[in-house]
Chain A
């Protein structure tokens, strides 16, 4: 009699249990919501294809700081994208690649990537997941091959565990590697500067900041609209070609002469900690940028219509504007421990960069 009752119950448990194990939610993958700032537009990134998880983000973070993604082991993503400089290369016009190579462009800051449709300053890369493959395979940057990186990751016990935790099994593929990197980079949301606090009613501008904000809204906002402080367009702002580093920018991608020397409008968030400026880092200080806009820009056939007369700026206005730009620095972002290197990884740095870090 007892057996008659027990047997079906046991059977149901076994069948149900195996069904849940097969099709039920995987308890080991912890989904994480995207930290969407209030009042911001909807992100463009397709989170359905690559939902954020604690494990995926953690794997992405390790990959971002791991030198083995480069050919000689010394150039992780983080070597050119340093957190304390809002993920640009601190104090470098051009970054360093393997074998004493220089890159051809100033490393852009990495933040608010979920709202960005195209990547690289020429917009050549059309998906965040694809972006890491460009520096990884560029001979003057990380100089590696995708397959070779995958082999290195597959032979690492810790990665095996981490890939399984993030994706369900130990397979290490290009898609999983890049999706994990995207997950980590998507968490680089910078939305907590003084400007943001003022907008949220948590702080107030001082007088120069307020005056600077007014000037900004008159003279800068057309290309640098908040909250992202860029319209993601490509513009020729009258920066002449450097014959020793010839780079036609957007024209390389579109093949159109009207895109000659056009580069994406950079975000002004964290701008005061991301010098040098310009696509090739030719402006070593903010004052040089202002001088360019008011006097030095060279009008070419492809120069943007908004730039053809330059931007009239008085010395006074430059002072107030600079005060405003300082309010765009997000100090909690550059100190966020979740974006820093995992505790057991020391990021290799070039000698000169190491000196700068010590000063910091």
Chain B
């Protein structure tokens, strides 16, 4: 013990200051460590089956059809932890998911700790609909925009069915409309349980587009190309199409 008590005290003080500095320096790092990335994987499905352009599907009304195009916008993707507070989790304002483009169905999100629920707008908000020509996924050249009646097509489902009475036995649902009474963008909120921290799988089931309170069938309505009551009814239907896929049943 060649150090006096005073010197030891001073050393302790220096140590404490050093430790404090280290903590301060490390704190943003630890917050950064908490901000993990999460891959939002979207799956296109018809019921429990993976949706492909080749296979035939059957809806609740017993109509058989094949889908050649299924696309929809997602925007304002938000996540919430245990405190239930939602925060913006996506880098880009809007994403365009396309069944034929697997990369479009993978969205990187930033999390702040464990995720308890996710919510997003299926479609794009009114602001995007009234502020002219946008770039990126919102470029009108993406084919998700009406030039004759300004506004985005929030979601598109197209295919062929023997039950269709439209030319070419086609059925084409271009669902859009942002004005009062014609709104087709829908908030989707889903609780997230028992998923790995870095991956969240959502299935979008196109069979949910049919039926509902309006009883939508291909035979009764093979075509929807404008805002209005039919588009709103189908939007109410597609509000139900998402579900969280539990680990282990991702590949049906």
Q: Which residues of A contact B (CB under 8 A)?
A: 46, 49-50, 120, 124-130, 133-134, 136-138, 145-147, 150, 173-175, 178-179, 252-253, 255
Contact = CB atoms under 8 A, between A and B. Distances in A.
B14 interface: no
Nearest to B179: A254
Contact of A146 (B130, B131, B140, B227): B140
A130 B139 CA distance: 11
A173 B142 CA distance: 12
A130 B228 contact: no
Given A126-B130, A178-B133, A179-B133, A134 B148 contact: yes
Contacts of A126: 129-130, 150-151
A175 B133 contact: yes
Given A146-B141, A173-B139, A175-B139, A127 B149 contact: no
A137 B145 CA distance: 11
Contacts of A253: 149
Nearest to A45: B132
25 contacts: A46-B132, A49-B131, A50-B132, A120-B148, A125-B148, A125-B149, A126-B130, A127-B131, A127-B132, A127-B150, A129-B132, A129-B133, A130-B132, A130-B133, A130-B150, A133-B147, A136-B147, A138-B148, A146-B139, A174-B135, A175-B132, A175-B134, A175-B135, A179-B132, A179-B133
Nearest to A177: B133
A136 B141 CA distance: 12
B197 to A, nearest CB: 38
Contacts of B130: 126-127
A46 B133 CA distance: 13
Top 9 closest pairs, chain A to chain B, by CB:
A129-B132, A146-B141, A126-B150, A133-B147, A124-B149, A127-B132, A134-B147, A175-B133, A178-B133
Contact of B140 (A50, A120, A133, A255): A133
A138 B149 CA distance: 12
Contacts of B151: 126
Interface string B114-150: 0000000000000001111111000111000101111
Contacts of A138: 147-148
Given A175-B134, A178-B133, A179-B133, A125 B147 contact: yes
B132 A178 contact: yes
* Of listed A49, A120, A255, residue having the most chain B CB within 10 A: A255
Contacts of A137: 147
Contact of A255 (B131, B150, B228): B228
B208 to A, nearest CB: 25
Interface in B206-237: 226-229
- Which bracket fits the contact residues of B? 20 to 34
Given A49-B132, A126-B130, A174-B139, 20 more contacts: A49-B131, A50-B132, A124-B150, A125-B149, A125-B150, A127-B133, A127-B150, A129-B133, A130-B133, A130-B140, A133-B145, A134-B148, A138-B148, A146-B141, A147-B141, A173-B135, A174-B141, A178-B132, A179-B132, A255-B182
Interface of B is mostly: loop
Contacts, number: 69
Given A175-B133, A175-B134, A178-B133, A130 B141 contact: no
A112 B226 CA distance: 30
Contacts of B129: 126
Nearest to B131: A127
B125 to A, nearest CB: 14
A136 B145 CA distance: 13
Contacts of B134: 175
Contacts of A130: 132-133, 140, 147, 150
Contact of B133 (A134, A174, A255): A174
A150 B141 contact: yes
Contacts of A134: 147-148
A129 B141 CA distance: 14
A218 B84 CA distance: 63
B168 to A, nearest CB: 17
A120 B140 CA distance: 18
Contacts of B141: 145-147, 150, 174
B147 to A, nearest CB: 4
Contacts of A125: 147-150
A325 B241 CA distance: 59
A9 B226 CA distance: 65
Nearest to A136: B147
A146 B144 CA distance: 12
Nearest to A120: B148
A294 to B, nearest CB: 34
A71 to B, nearest CB: 15
Nearest to B135: A175
A95 to B, nearest CB: 16
A127 B226 CA distance: 18
A240 to B, nearest CB: 23
Nearest to A127: B132
B148 A174 contact: no
Contact of A174 (B140, B150, B227, B228): B140
Interface in B129-182: 129-135, 139-141, 145, 147-151, 182
A178 B150 CA distance: 14
A150 B229 CA distance: 35
Contacts of B226: 252
Contacts of A129: 132-133
Contacts of B140: 130, 133, 146, 174
